Copies of this chain bind each other. A is one copy, B any other.
Amino acid sequence: MTTKDVARAGKRGPYAKSEERRQTILDAAHAVFAARGYRGGSLQDVADRAGMSQTSLLHYFPSKRDLLMSVLERRDEITSGAFPDDMEEGLADSVIRTALYNEGIPGVIELYTVLCAESVTDEHPGRDYFTERYERLRASYGRRFAELAAVGRLRPGVDPDEAAMSLVALWDGLQTQWLLAPDDVDVAERLRGYLKLVIVPESN
């Protein structure tokens, strides 16, 4: 019997069914928090969408707070699908590609935008996540811009770390405008425009 076999694998082993259930819940929570925010979305909403009772949900995630943290962790995994790390790719291309990739996954940008701003409010459980996320992003893009600067491909007068901060800020702001007016805002094109201002074209 399958259940027995899995159980035999060890007391703390990942039970297939249970793990599947967790994923279902995380998908539901992702959608609910994206559509209504953390405070605005209820465990009942999530449970309904996952097809179970609210109490069953709390069997997998002991509190709403825990659920949120798991949703945020999962978001990183989803979006990192755009980065084949081993590939040599220009900064501009990789930014554009990531922007387009995220735009194609329903709810990803909504979740990010809504929870990020909500996280600056009092006692919000997501605050540390977003604070650290920005630190990582700024440092990461700062390094990429510094690499370009080292080979003379950063426009004179442009600081790598400042460009990184501005790129991230621009990206976020464009996504917000896009959510409110998707037909009027082209996130990827505006990012390309900024990068063209900042990066000197390859000379060959």
CA distance A118 to B177 in the complex (A): 13
Chain B residues closer than 8 Å to A173, beta-carbon distance: 168-173
Number of copies: 2
Let me know if A193 is at the binding interface, CB within 8 A.
yes
A93 shortest CB reach to chain B, Å: 19
Chain B residues closer than 8 Å to A181, beta-carbon distance: 131, 134-135
A67 shortest CB reach to chain B, Å: 17
What band does the interface of chain A fall in when counting residues whose beta carbon is under 8 Å from B?
35 or more
| Chain A stretch 120-156: residues in CB contact (< 8 A) with chain B | 120-122, 127, 130-131, 134-135, 138, 155
| Nearest-CB residue, chain B, relative to A128 | B180
Query: Are B162 and A168 within 8 A (Cβ)?
Result: no
Q: Which of B138, B168, B179, B198 contacts A197 (CB 8 A)?
A: B198
CA distance A50 to B130 in the complex (A): 32
CA distance A131 to B184 in the complex (A): 11
Chain B residues closer than 8 Å to A120, beta-carbon distance: 110, 113-114, 176, 179-180
Q: Which of B113, B118, B169, B172 contacts A37 (CB 8 A)?
A: B118
CA distance A197 to B154 in the complex (A): 12
Query: Are B172 and A176 within 8 A (Cβ)?
Result: yes
Q: Which of B36, B119, B170, B172 contacts A166 (CB 8 A)?
A: B170
Closest 3 CB pairs of A and B: A169-B173, A117-B117, A173-B173
